[in-house]
Amino acid sequence: MNDGVWAAPGRVNLIGEHTDYNDGFVMPFALPHTTVATVARRDDGVLRLHSADIDGDGAGPFELRLDELAPGGGRGWTDYPAGVVWALREAGHRVGGADIHYESTVPAGAGLSSSAALEVVTALALNDLYELGLERRYIARLCRRAENVYVGAPTGIMDQMASACCTDGHALHLDTRALSLRQVPFDLRAHGLELLVVDTRVKHSHSEGEYGRRRAGCEAGAAALGVNALRDVPNDALEDALARLDDPEVRSLVRHVVTENHRVERVIAHLEAGEVRAIGPLLTEGHASLRDDFHVSCRELDLVVDTSLTAGALGARMTGGGFGGSAIVLTESSSAHLVAQSVQEAFASASLDAPRVFTASPSAGARRLS
């Protein structure tokens, strides 16, 4: 028996990178790519999970008893949906068992947030099936808790908020301190523009330790400046703040975070004024800051950005945590093909594996399909 079908999207972050753990601003939009869950309620306290996207025995079906769910991670992909059920129950919501079959078009591990899509689709389905009446921002927070505590991955709130709360034709301005949201019009097609996502298909293995080091450096910067988080340093106080920091590494981390928050605000102003092309240089500036100040880019991401700009793109940047994953490229629709081709050729000339390139139009957040 199928009780319903739900979908939740992956996302890309338009601007606002490494700002989330500094209480700052991010601006993701939902991809047309979704994780779809076909879900049937069951009343025997069992969660039965199957994924069409995992090969062989790893796909399941796996049967987990709800009263035996325990945080800790390390049990593979079922930790994500099991973590959602655990977080719901731990918060006191009465969810019972379910049969869930997943099928996704979100590339996994590409920095496009397949993990949040998997969590959010699970939470939304259970919210509807068990008539929990939960608000989307709350659902996003529970999903983050599932990922942080149950799976054991120290992520911010952006991915789950984007998957749960984005709307078609908009980017989502998220203030990660207040957890307030604003839908900012981002209609590329109406302006004759395209946004390409280039998944480099590389993930450099040192990324986790490097992430922790950046996070600690930002915290050290905030402490040295006597603020709760780097969000509290306004852009016009930056020079002053930098002059008070001795450690050159901390100084450049602070410079990135402060200027990046300011770039988010400038991007919003342009989009709200209908000046979509004007965000191109800000994207490129953001990339330079991530590359030169935050040191989280890599050869493959730089190659996408440099090649796209040479081929006539309006702007380009790495997106996501860095050290691989994906980049985004803003281009006139008329030259999108040429830009994509130039990137493919550049990768081939550098003897790198072919990247996956696709067009991303800002799409809807999680929803019930039937």
Give the residue with the Cβ less far from ligand ADP, 10 or 97: 10
Of 263-302, which residues contact Mg ion (CB under 5 A)?
A: none
From the list ligand ADP, Mg ion, none, partner contacted by residue 112 (C-beta under 5 to 8 A by kind): ligand ADP
Give the residue with the Cβ less far from Mg ion, 115 or 176: 115
Q: Residues binding Mg ion: what is the number (CB under 5 A)?
A: 2
In the bound complex, what is the minimum distance in angstroms from residue 9's beta carbon to Mg ion?
13
Give the residue with the Cβ less far from Mg ion, 155 or 307: 155
* Nearest C-alpha neighbor of 188 from the set 317, 286, 274: 274
From the list ligand ADP, Mg ion, none, partner contacted by residue 175 (C-beta under 5 to 8 A by kind): none
From the list ligand ADP, Mg ion, none, partner contacted by residue 202 (C-beta under 5 to 8 A by kind): none
CA distances from 144 to 116, 153, 160, 249, 318 (A): 8, 9, 6, 30, 23
Give the residue with the Cβ less far from ligand ADP, 81 or 221: 81
The span from the CA of 367 to the CA of 136, in Å, is 11
Task: Name the pairing type of β-strands 193-203 and 97-104.
Answer: unpaired
The catalytic residue among 79, 159, 199, 293 is: 159
CB 344 within 8 A of CB 198: no
The span from the CA of 194 to the CA of 273, in Å, is 18
In the bound complex, what is the minimum distance in angstroms from residue 347's beta carbon to Mg ion?
24
From the list ligand ADP, Mg ion, none, partner contacted by residue 88 (C-beta under 5 to 8 A by kind): none
CB 203 within 8 A of CB 109: yes
The verdict on 308 binding Mg ion (CB under 5 A) reads: no
DSSP-derived letter for residue 67 is G
* Nearest C-alpha neighbor of 159 from the set 120, 217, 132, 197: 120
Cβ atoms within 10 A of the Cβ of 255, count? Answer: 22
* x/- track of binding to Mg ion for residues 85-124 (CB under 5 A): ----------------------------x-x---------
**H-run or E-run covering 85:** helix 79-90
In the bound complex, what is the minimum distance in angstroms from residue 355's beta carbon to ligand ADP?
15
Residues engaged in binding ligand ADP (CB under 6 A): 35, 51, 53-54, 77, 80, 102, 104, 108-115, 118
CA 70, 72, 75, 76 torsion-angle sign:
positive
φ, ψ (nearest 5 deg) of residue 319? -135, 150
In the bound complex, what is the minimum distance in angstroms from residue 8's beta carbon to Mg ion?
13
Concatenated DSSP letters of 87-121:
HHHHTT----EEEEEEEE-SPTTSSS-HHHHHHHH
Give the residue with the Cβ less far from ligand ADP, 104 or 308: 104
In the bound complex, what is the minimum distance in angstroms from residue 51's beta carbon to ligand ADP?
3
Give the residue with the Cβ less far from ligand ADP, 38 or 104: 104
* Nearest C-alpha neighbor of 18 from the set 268, 285, 257, 231: 257
In the bound complex, what is the minimum distance in angstroms from residue 235's beta carbon to Mg ion?
29
Joined tokens for residue 107: 């590339």
From the list Mg ion, ligand ADP, none, partner contacted by residue 54 (C-beta under 5 to 8 A by kind): ligand ADP
Residue, CB closest to Mg ion: 115
From the list Mg ion, ligand ADP, none, partner contacted by residue 210 (C-beta under 5 to 8 A by kind): none
Q: Among this protein's residues, is 159 annotated catalytic?
A: yes
Binding site for Mg ion (CB under 5 A): 113, 115
The residues annotated with a catalytic role in the active site are 159
